[in-house]
Amino acid sequence: MKPSPLRYQIFLICVCLIALTGQAVADALSDAKRAHSAGDFAKAAKLYTTLAEQGNAAAQLRLAEMYEDGTGVLQDYKEVVKWARRAAEQGDAAGQLLLATLYQHGEGVPKNFVEAHMWSNIAATHDNPLGSHSPAIIKRDALAKFMTAQQIAEA
């Protein structure tokens, strides 16, 4: 059975809308990066927040970093954890490594080497041209020195 012309037109409209939405997100992310580079941190934070709430992992990570540094927003480690976790759970290696660091130092979360090791190990699984010199592997291996074999297995 051949699709009707109306179905085909609806399909094309949907494809165009999806493409335009993707371009709009890319433009908004570029705008946020430009604002940040120009020192307009309040504008950058606003743009990153909008994108982060829509599920953009890159924006979530940048927003987490802004809360960590107190750049354009009040420093707030609970917010750092919130946004780093959202990026990490989407597979963002930098978000995973940031979350590992937060658990390692007990910033915004209780200090927990098992969680820190777990997140650094997850980050280490990403393709990394640095190999054993990747920050995630270095962090994971350094944490392991302070952990029992049972804790490492749990992680």
Domain range annotation of the chain: 1-66, 91-155
- Write out the DSSP string of 19-42: HHHHHHHHHHHHHHHHHHHTT-HH
Whether residue 22 is predicted with pLDDT greater than 70 in this model: the reply is no
pLDDT bracket for residue 127 (50, 70, 90): low
User: What pTM does this model have?
Assistant: 0.77
* pLDDT recorded at residue 132: 65
% of the chain residues with pLDDT over 90: 56
Helices (H) and strands (E) in the chain, counts: 8, 0
